[in-house]
Amino acid sequence: MAFEGVSQKLQAIFKKLNARGKLNENDVKEAMREIKLALLEADVNFLVVKQFVKTVSERAVGSEVLESLTPGQQVVKIVNEELTRLMGGENAKLEFGTSKPAVILMAGLQGAGKTTMCGKLGAYIKKQYGKQPLLAACDIYRPAAIKQLQVVGEKLDLPVYEHGTQDPVLTAKEAVEEAKRRFLDVVIVDTAGRLHIDADMMDELKRIRDAIDPAEILLVVDAMTGQDAVNVAKNFHETIALTGVILTKLDGDTRGGAALSVRQVTGKPIKFSGTGEKLTDIEPFYPDRMASRILGMGDVMTLIEKAQTAFDEKKAAEMAEKMKTNAFTLDDFLEQMEQVSSMGSMEDIMKMIPGMDAGKMKGAKIDEKQMARTKAIIQSMTKQERANPEILNASRRKRIARGSGTSIQEVNRLMNQFNASRQMMKQMTGRMKKGRRGGMPFGF
């Protein structure tokens, strides 16, 4: 996962600092040397590392820190603040400008995930802002690029405008007119990428930009390319004046140097990050939350937002009522499992909880095949059986196993999981009725 390497190293450094109690200037300098190496190994830009370490060192060797009761924690606080500042300080909101429709121009090299990100961003805008986007297919060079955008649009229920292999500048202008005609709010323009930066690509991007006057010019870069991503961002910005950056594949890079360098080098904020392969895997980039994750301090706000997205408020209230009345069914059980799985891997969730050791959950993911088997088993039951699992005798279980293509053992295992969940909920609601809420997880 992103920053895994640098995160582990920084946490080890701070653990040593905290264990020493009182610190002197040499202790801080030694820690700064180790931090410098950790950041360089994470592929952070050398000049960025140099300035970062200098700033942290100047703040950390002051009497206010060294003479405090918890100097180690004070150093961690300073590093956290400087990491946050390095990545932009605060979340940079998406700008829509004053023109209707708002136009967002997407640029990037081939392989960065730009076309897919156009769809992800469109779906995000539709859900979070209630706006209706139109995707414009202006990559006429890569084989099947137009078809790919159409497939993504279809999956996300987003309209796509394309006009074959005509001049992309004309297609972009036509897409804007189409959006006006259909009263759509936003046009997201997917442009051509190249294997490397070249004059023709940049000239075409400039002509498209000048023709449609975008409110945002967002560069999509692959976080796994490390320092190269920063160099690409710098070149694009110098040519077409970027307004922001989207980092893709942030879930696959253990170094994370691009995220720590790109803001400082280009002066432009990271606005979003791609955090997985699903078409819903896009998150606004919050520098303070990312700094907390890197330092192992958790990210409660993102966890809450993920939970709010996964769990419908009305359904959650209905589920709570079912728990109180012990009316929790197998349909409810399946729905709850699907909602939890939509939040991501257990490792990711653990990382967002302060004080939790995510390393123990390394590689722990929701087994999609197991989810499919669970769904098949429950859906092979009659409506009566799902509502009243107590009637599931041996012959019924044998029929369900046969109907779902599983084994009786798997059916029995699922029922044991369901009964254990229902028993736990019964105990929880019992404590709530007695007013003894202490010690229950997540406020139950």
Domain's final residue, options 303, 337, 362: 303
On whether both 195 and 253 belong to a single domain, the answer is yes
Domain with 141, as residue range(s), is: 102-303
Strands (E) located in 24-117: 102-108
How far is Cα 379 from Cα 384, in angstroms, rounded to an integer? 12
Stretch among 12-21, 31-40, 180-189, 242-251 having the lowest mean pLDDT: 12-21
Residue 235 pLDDT: 84
238 found inside a domain = yes
Q: In this structure, is residue 93 part of a structural domain?
A: no
Query: Within a domain: residue 437?
Result: yes
Q: Quick one: 191 and 317 in the same domain?
A: no
Q: 123 and 30 share a domain?
A: no
Q: Are 164 and 271 found together in one domain?
A: yes
- pLDDT value of residue 320: 59
* pLDDT of amino acid 206: 92
pLDDT band (50, 70, 90) for residue 179: very high
- Tell me: do 114 and 183 sit in the same domain: yes
Query: Which of residues 51 and 4 earns the better pLDDT score?
Result: 51
Say whether pLDDT at 363 is over 90: no
Within-domain flag for 322: yes
The type of residue at 133 is P
Mean per-residue pLDDT of the chain: 79
Q: Would you say residue 209 lies in a domain?
A: yes
Does residue 91 belong to any structural domain of this protein?
no
Identify the CA nearest to 101 among candidates 158, 182, 184, 209.
Answer: 184
- The CATH number assigned to the domain holding 119 equals 3.40.50.300
Same domain, 174 and 253: yes
Boundary of a domain, candidates 86, 110, 134:
86
Q: How confident is the model at residue 395 (pLDDT cuts 50, 70, 90)?
A: very high
Residue 350 or 241, more confident = 241
Q: What is the CATH number of the domain that holds 82?
A: 1.20.120.140
Does 196 share its domain with 325? Answer: no
Please tell me whether residues 193 and 279 are part of one structural domain. yes
> What is the per-residue pLDDT for 409?
92
190 touches 135 (CB < 8 A): yes
- Look at residues 279, 303, 327 and tell me which one is the last residue of a structural domain: 303
Please report whether residue 224 resides in a domain. yes
Cis peptide before 71 (omega within 30 of 0): no
131 and 279: one domain?
Answer: yes
Domain count, the chain: 3
Among 30-34, 180-184, 237-241, 266-270, the range with the most confident prediction by mean pLDDT is 180-184
**The pLDDT of residue 367 is above 60:** no
pLDDT, residue 352, reads 53
Please give the share of the chain, as a percent, with pLDDT higher than 90: 28
Q: Give the three-class secondary structure for 21.
A: coil
pLDDT bin (cut points 50, 70, 90) of residue 439 is very low
pLDDT digits (tens, 9 = 90+) for 76-99: 888 888 888 888 888 889 999 888
Clarify whether residues 396 and 262 are in a common domain: no
pLDDT in tens, 321-341: 665 656 778 888 887 777 666
Same domain, 41 and 167: no
* Domain-embedded: residue 95: no
Residues 297 and 149 in one domain: yes
What is the distance between the alpha carbons of residues 242 and 270, in angstroms, rounded to a whole number?
11
Query: 274-307: per-residue pLDDT in tens?
Result: 877 888 888 898 888 888 777 766 544 555 555 5
